[in-house]
Chains A and B, each alone.
Chain A
């Protein structure tokens, strides 16, 4: 009995403990960050933190020490939950590799690297995740996508795709929460074709009731060719807010 109450008291003290933001020079993830990307695409990487029923997982921790790989503050946790709900990626909030951009030193480091690659023209082929009328496509320059049903733009019109959720190259990715600002990314497209689909059949049948319906229909669709994706240099001072709308 005494042992139980002791454990409970410990848990309570732990929960009520002050969150402390400690320097993380020794963290391996920071060293790796300087080599590659803001977010290491290691989605689904399991850790003992993420086991269900683990009472000592990150949601109970308010005091964090640098000797453990996971450095999380409440703002980071909230940001991650927001991202995971918007993008529909489960478990993303528990990633240890997802570096918190709340820290200014890291921000300037990462933005500096991105700007360097853009200046030198080393960005290479860029991809973008674009939302057109509710349907998302991962696009690069030169590929074609279809927009179903009646679409106002005419054949030959140049469009700018406004809703960009993410953009990236070989070495970096910018991920919007949920959209990226117009000032950061530009995706151009051309309407190449406007046609009808092949004949599709609509058939309903109910047995033993003398009920059936059949008709053929054709849907309108538009073909867009993606011309280019451009990313602007990021300002070192503004921070994460410059990526948002």
Chain B
């Protein structure tokens, strides 16, 4: 009802990434800015001073620069699973743009929604799922009743009488 209205999904690991080799899921990143408008000032600063550090560290990510006249600055990240994420960079200083770029690099392309569970496993059971007959003696299935074995009084431990008798026997 109300729960289904809020988008939520299980945790996912895209194509078992990291099991053999880790593959960066960010395919390409586009930096959009205006060459003249003051709103793109920080973005231009980033492109001039910080962008090449990012490209050197991440040779597997394709970087595009897209100057767009009279439009606000933004970044568009495209991931290997085909998803596209756009983020506006108006008013964000070069340091912050660096951080958001790094954030895009660290993501898998999966959509960010409410996480149902903080883990996911394909094999939840190692020792077998418990069932009521798991640790029971299977000979009970063949038992015929009345049975002297199953009707026997369970031993509760040493009683005081037994203790006294032992003491007496010792003497």
How many residues does chain B have at the interface if contact means C-beta atoms less than 8 Å apart?
A: 39
On whether the beta carbons of A195 and B103 are closer than 8 Å, the reply is: yes
On whether the beta carbons of A146 and B119 are closer than 8 Å, the reply is: yes
On whether the beta carbons of B24 and A144 are closer than 8 Å, the reply is: no
On whether the beta carbons of B24 and A156 are closer than 8 Å, the reply is: yes
Q: Quick check: which of B31-39, B64-72, B149-157 contacts chain A, the rest being far away?
A: B149-157
On whether the beta carbons of A14 and B163 are closer than 8 Å, the reply is: yes
Q: Quick check: which of A19-27, A40-48, A110-118, A234-242 contacts chain B, the rest being far away?
A: A40-48
Q: Which residues of B contact A140 (CB under 8 A)?
A: 121, 123, 126
On whether the beta carbons of B157 and A225 are closer than 8 Å, the reply is: no
Q: A48-B156, A144-B11, A144-B13 are in contact. Are A193 and B108 (CB under 8 A)?
A: yes
Q: Which residues of A contact B128 (CB under 8 A)?
A: 170
On whether the beta carbons of B127 and A198 are closer than 8 Å, the reply is: no
Check: A142 CB closer than 8 A to any chain B CB.
yes
Contact with B along A50-89 (1 / 0, CB 8 A): 0000101110010101011110000000000000000000
Q: Which residues of B contact A232 (CB under 8 A)?
A: none
In the bound assembly, the distance between CA atoms of A7 and B161 in angstroms comes to 10
Q: Which of B13, B103, B105, B123 contacts A225 (CB 8 A)?
A: B13
Other A-B contacts than A140-B121, A144-B12, A169-B127, 8 sampled, CB-CB below 8 A, are A10-B163, A42-B135, A61-B157, A124-B126, A156-B18, A156-B22, A156-B24, A225-B18
B88-108 interface (Cβ within 8 A of A): 103, 105-108
On whether the beta carbons of A192 and B158 are closer than 8 Å, the reply is: no
Check: B1 CB closer than 8 A to any chain A CB.
no
Q: Which residues of A contact B159 (CB under 8 A)?
A: 56
Q: List 18 A-B contacts (CB under 8 A).
A: A42-B135, A48-B156, A48-B157, A56-B157, A56-B159, A68-B158, A139-B119, A142-B121, A144-B11, A145-B118, A145-B119, A146-B119, A154-B106, A190-B19, A194-B103, A225-B16, A225-B17, A227-B18
Q: Which residues of B contact A192 (CB under 8 A)?
A: 13, 17-18, 22, 108
On whether the beta carbons of A155 and B105 are closer than 8 Å, the reply is: yes
What residues make up the interface of B, taking CB atoms closer than 8 Å to A?
11-13, 16-19, 22, 24-25, 103, 105-108, 112-115, 118-123, 126-128, 135, 154-160, 163-164, 167
Most buried by B among A65, A155, A195, A197: A155
Most buried by A among B103, B156, B157, B158: B157
